[in-house]
Structure 1
Amino acid sequence: MITYGDDRLRALAEDGRWSELLAAYRLGRAAASAEAGEEAAAALTAPLGHLIAYAAPPELAVRLFDRDGGAGTAAGVDDHDAGPLWEVLATRHSWLRLAPLLGPGPVRRLVAHTRALLGEDLPFGAEPDPEGVPMRLEPWEAAGWEEAGRVREYLPGGGARSALLTLPASREGLGEVELPPVAPSVGRPDGPRVVRALTGLGELAPWAATACVRGQAPAAAALLARDRRVVGGYLPFTLVYPALVRSAAVGRAQGSAHGRLGLWRALAAMAGADGGPDGPESPEGPVGVGGVERGEVNALVARMRCFTWQEPSAGLHHLHVALEDPASGVAWVLSGSQEL
């Protein structure tokens, strides 16, 4: 099977013969798809796809996702090596270059949101997001981290560098806290919006446990914390936001754009998390459902109280945070760890 390690393919790349490399990718992917199925084909051809997405001119690199080559030849949203091939492409070229080349569909949308995460304004060819997620970062999204750390840094020969997901990252600013006892009658809010918010948070970090409580953030933390006495404290949402976005990109098949879109869905549901009547749901998802608009999400973020705590044996990836909305009296919690 074709891999980036083949000397012939290396020579083609060094000579800039990208059309031949694309043809080799399509031929190999179609053959593998017919023989072993889509999942195996995506895995076997991913190293060559990474090379093309990383180093080929954008006019050719975008054709990785075109279906004009026939059945089984095109990369999809889930094709990945060190990370999704569409994310590799998005880190290499501006939206100004890519917008006229990418056709409509999931890849175009994810590339656009990746460019937004990298700090680019998207006025050229940037159609509104179908779920209403803004096509540029809100100030609270940009405040907590540097542009260089928002998306994986991909390497030309394969592989990537990315920041570890750690929340809390250290004991700085934290202290001994006694969490409240979890009473058998503790209020567990319900309703369609509450369910959607929990579902959204669960999809954001599928390796973490989630729960919600009618009460304050420490009460929510007590639902999942291992001990009553913890080292914890409050952080501004701007410092929590990067970890929540990264939580979706712990696996190689997911990118930071997945995290941003998923978090906006969850925040939109949380902004109306009183369990009241919902408006009609759109086919595209919950952002904008029930009158929840960008301004309501911004208002939620402004009043949000975020409590984080340490666990005694956290994995290299770990996330322990409770998000409290004082206006609705509901607090949400995510807690989990994962080894690399």
Structure 2
Amino acid sequence: MITYEELRLRSLADEGRWIELLGAYRQARAAAVALDPARTGAARGRAAAATAPLGHLIAYAAPPEVAARLFDPDGGPGTAAGVADHDAGPLWEVLATRHHWRRLAPLLGPPPVRRLVAQTRVLLGEDLSRDAEPDREGVPLRLEPWEAAGRCEGAPVREYLRDGGSRSALLTLPASREGLAPVKLPEPGARLPGQPATRALAELAGWARAVCVRGPAPLAAAQLAPGRLVTGGYLPFVLAWPALVQAGVADRAHGAAHGRFALWRALAAMAGAARPPGPVGPVGLVRSPGSPRPLGLLRPLGPLGPERVDRGEVGALVARMRCFTWEDPADRLRHLHLALEDPATGLSWAVSGSEEV
């Protein structure tokens, strides 16, 4: 049932009265904060949920000068949207899909929002290597050639609708049986525990399992496949890239930028396994925004935090890596079955799981 208030807000939007709509958004959040004197966060969370549809409309349809102010704290305590505020998807991703970086860059203040918006624009094909501040983890501000080729196979960024909702291709691996054939996997061998890249892959797709073995990709697949006889085959990494990025979009509060960050962390950890051992100083474990768990080893920690990922090492890893995928008869709507073999180290990782969307 559509309420009078919803009709009023739609009327304001149709008339282009975006400043009034921004004021209504902030007032609703401020009222919830006032009802939460103990600062427990519960009322703030309810306010974020209640105002999410209006925030989506502003982020989607308002001029960028107004929409960017959703994240501006100048309205008072608790009135600004954060990186976790979402309706059909995170409000910052909705905004990022609507305007080029040059329009948004002068308007966005909070660094976490700027970073996520910039990386979303990169995933949409913009080259920000000259126009945006360097990423704090060193994730490139333009798509690497293998990412650009993968983007042609499937775009992981949602397509948002004005009145709420979104459209997104369901990127699964394997996507079909094309190119696959019956394969007899070897007997599962011993797993290698404690590999940072294994933890990073597990974080990439929180609904999947990840393992590491010494040996070729099918040996890693044998650890997680439903049996020794599977329908599977090798494929280029570019065909796996879209599904891997989308795997990191855990829920509506996450956007494709989260998936790209998680994938680069995993690849950086895998590339790090190829370095000869030596004195490297204190180890740095990188965490995802809002996650209490470490994601993976990137580089030694310096005085300002983890060093930036090495694009050259990651690119070399992708160029030499062999990828093997297989089917599981028990697959649900979203599924990912992939083994990644690094011939330089003789190590292979497998990540496998499925879930309903």
Task: Return the TM-score normalized by structure 1.
Answer: 0.92
Task: Pick closer, same or farther for the CA change 1:5–1:113 going to 2, 3 Å.
Answer: farther
Alignment of 1:250-265 (within 5 A): 250-265=250-265
Contact preservation (8 Å) 2:335, 2:355: yes
Task: Pick closer, same or farther for the CA change 1:274–1:288 going to 2, 3 Å.
Answer: closer
Task: Pick closer, same or farther for the CA change 1:125–1:287 going to 2, 3 Å.
Answer: farther
SS in 2 for 1:222: helix
Matched letter for residue 188 of structure 1: L
Structure-1 residue corresponding to 2:85: 79
In the alignment, structure 2 segments of 5+ residues that lack a partner are 36-41, 288-295, 301-306
Number of aligned pairs?
333
In the alignment, structure 1 segments of 5+ residues that lack a partner are none
> Could you tell me which of 314, 321, 344 is aligned with 1:297?
314
Task: Pick closer, same or farther for the CA change 1:3–1:274 going to 2, 3 Å.
Answer: farther
Q: Distance in 2 between matches of 1:148 and 1:178?
A: 30
Task: Pick closer, same or farther for the CA change 1:198–1:213 going to 2, 3 Å.
Answer: same
SS in 2 for 1:289: strand
Task: Pick closer, same or farther for the CA change 1:3–1:338 going to 2, 3 Å.
Answer: farther
Structure-1 residue corresponding to 2:293: none
Matched letter for residue 150 of structure 1: P
Contact preservation (8 Å) 1:133, 1:287: no
Contact preservation (8 Å) 2:153, 2:239: no
Q: Distance in 2 between matches of 1:198 and 1:4?
A: 52
Q: Distance in 1 between matches of 2:281 and 2:181?
A: 42
Task: Return the TM-score normalized by structure 2.
Answer: 0.88
Q: Distance in 2 between matches of 1:68 and 1:306?
A: 49
Contact preservation (8 Å) 1:3, 1:45: no
Task: Pick closer, same or farther for the CA change 1:324–1:34 going to 2, 3 Å.
Answer: farther
Consecutive aligned runs of 4 or more in structure 1 exceeding 6 Å deviation: 2-5, 283-287
Residue 31 of structure 1: how far off its partner (Å): 2.1
- The answer as to 2:98 corresponding to 1:92 is yes
Q: Distance in 1 between matches of 2:129 and 2:186?
A: 49
Matched letter for residue 92 of structure 1: R
- The answer as to 2:185 corresponding to 1:149 is no
SS in 1 for 2:341: strand
Structure-2 residue corresponding to 1:234: 234
Structure-1 residue corresponding to 2:115: 109
Contact preservation (8 Å) 2:274, 2:344: no
Alignment of 1:6-155 (within 5 A): 6-35=6-35, 36-123=42-129, 125-146=131-152, 149-155=155-161
SS in 2 for 1:308: strand
Q: Distance in 2 between matches of 1:324 and 1:264?
A: 16
Residue 287 of structure 1: how far off its partner (Å): 7.8
Alignment of 1:122-271 (within 5 A): 122-123=128-129, 125-146=131-152, 149-183=155-189, 186-190=190-194, 194-195=195-196, 197-271=197-271
Percent identical pairs in the alignment equals 66
Task: Pick closer, same or farther for the CA change 1:76–1:181 going to 2, 3 Å.
Answer: same
